[in-house]
Chain A
Amino acid sequence: MIYFDNVTKHYDEGKPSIDGVTFTIEKNEFVSIVGQSGAGKTTLVKMLLAEEMPTSGAIFFDSININELSGEDLPAVRRRIGTVFQDFRLLPTKTVYENIAFAMEAAGRPDEEIVGDVPQILDLVGLSGKEDHFPHQLSGGERQRVAIARAIINKPDVIVADEPTGNLDPVNSWDVMNLLTKINEMGTTIILATHDRDIINALKRRVITIEDGKIIQDAKSGKYIL
């Protein structure tokens, strides 16, 4: 479903931040991308979201080369990829309800669906009753759950989570991981970039380990090896 074909990314002269990376992610997989800070995890994620272009190589999403998409076609692909980030990236001037509704509005969904779906999702992530709060009125864990709710509201094929537990305490981290596992069990592919040893070892799923921009291990039921 997702195919990185010999992808290299140079930000400037000198060492590439991603160096000749090739891998495939199948439908319904739960893949962790592991590496220390600066190893190239975030660069990989950004290229998958077409926020960055590879210097060479190509990235395919369901046989679409996403780096060849025009500015008009890109939003449609992005709606098929839900995103969760370390810094949450919520819209600060919108309430919890509006943040989630915005993703549905952007996808052109009718009002009846929005009114029906948003409370359900809020219930799923355990935020019922907080729909009128603004992001700054929520704790870190709650904000991340809003971000997850927003990521799954349009029933995407893939969720990309870049260090989703990076700013959270252990209890909230496990809440978030349990949510992601549940979402994966419901049939959504998950790509998780992290350097949290405990989480990786507990998941027992596929782990791609990268160092200095290269894949050094790709294990079916991997452990944290760095």
Chain B
Amino acid sequence: MFIVTIKRIIKTGLINFYRNGWVSTASVLIMVLALFIIQSAILANVLLTSTLAAVEEKVDVSVYFKLEAVESEVLNIKTALEELQEVASVNYISREESLQQFRDRHGENALISNSLEELGDNPFGATLNVRAKTPSQYESVALFLERGDFSAIDKINYRKNQVVIDRLASIISLSRRAGAVVGLVLLAIAMLIVFNTIRLAIFTSRDEIGVMKLVGASKPYIRSPFIVVGSSYGVVAAVVTMIITWPLTFWLGPFSERLFGGINISTYFNQNFFSIFGALLLIGVLLGGISSFIATRRYLKL
């Protein structure tokens, strides 16, 4: 009997979804809008995070050594830095490599290459590029180098970059928090709209619910088909949202890569197609089902 009842409920729900075509279409469209907003928030967050990561990658502290610094001394400092818990990586550039990089960069400039020839000696000191795990940790790395009083160090470019690095660190944390708040507000608005749409759809069925009660149908038997209909809105809306988003990300992909310097949004979308679809499906079904459950409550009262 239980199986028969479940079968009847699902069948009734799907028939009602089909027969109330216009109400279903309107509800699905609203739900698509809500899911699209949620999805955009997810993708925007991915884009922002990858952009920030790309920017963070470019921030580092360079330690310049005196010309007469011995290589073993430089390597000692490198080891000491690597032992710091804040440090992500240390990159050693020897005097020769510095010169080579400089030559490569200004190869076409005859004046500069001529001057180097004239000089005869290598004017560059060795360099260590230090990368911290997060931007806010550069301060302590710089302090470590300054307090260590290493005689071989010529200068550290941290103080010069400090303002930029600090600002970047605060922008990053602020935009993360703002993104979360905006995302939550949008989610709340979307849920309210969906709930109200479904409530209106069920409002049109209030007389029917009254008749069903008089015929002697139990509350769960009256209510369940409405929950099936609400969940169907979620399923169809999730599919439609994915169909809309796919060409959109394809089109925006190269653009996002150029503008933000992070990942290609289309690649990300395709790689995570099933987890995004699953998330939208889950949100849609829950949103539709719970909204229907709450909306039928009122008309089911005696």
Measured CB to CB, the residues of A under 8 A from B are 49-51, 71-72, 74-79, 83, 89-93, 102-103, 105-108, 110-111, 150, 154
B215 interface residue (CB < 8 Å to A)? yes
Interface of B is mostly: helix
Q: Which of B27-35, B102-110, B216-224 binds A?
A: B216-224
Q: Which residues on the B side are within 8 Å of A93 (C-beta)?
A: 16, 19-20, 208
Which residue of chain A lies nearest to B301 when distances are taken between CB atoms in the complex? A71
B66 interface residue (CB < 8 Å to A)? no
Q: Which residues on the B side are within 8 Å of A90 (C-beta)?
A: 211
Q: Which residues on the A side are within 8 Å of B16 (C-beta)?
A: 93
B111 interface residue (CB < 8 Å to A)? no
Give 11 A-B contacts (CB < 8 Å), ordered by A residue: A71-B302, A72-B218, A75-B218, A78-B214, A78-B216, A79-B215, A93-B19, A102-B212, A103-B215, A106-B217, A154-B216
B1 interface residue (CB < 8 Å to A)? yes
A102–B302 alpha-carbon span in the complex (Å): 20
**Residue among B5, B214, B219, B302 making CB contact with A83, cutoff 8 Å:** B214
A49 touches B215 (CB 8 A): no
Interface residues of B in 1-35 (CB under 8 A from A): 1, 4-5, 8, 16, 19-20
Known: A105-B8, A106-B221, A108-B1. A89 touches B211 (CB 8 A): yes
Which residue of chain A lies nearest to B19 when distances are taken between CB atoms in the complex? A93
B4 touches A111 (CB 8 A): yes
Q: Which residues on the A side are within 8 Å of B210 (C-beta)?
A: 89
Known: A50-B302, A71-B302, A108-B1. A76 touches B208 (CB 8 A): no
Q: Which residues on the B side are within 8 Å of A103 (C-beta)?
A: 215-216
B213 interface residue (CB < 8 Å to A)? yes
Known: A50-B302, A111-B4. A106 touches B218 (CB 8 A): yes
The 7 closest A-B pairs by CB, nearest first: A79-B216, A106-B217, A78-B216, A75-B216, A75-B218, A103-B215, A89-B211
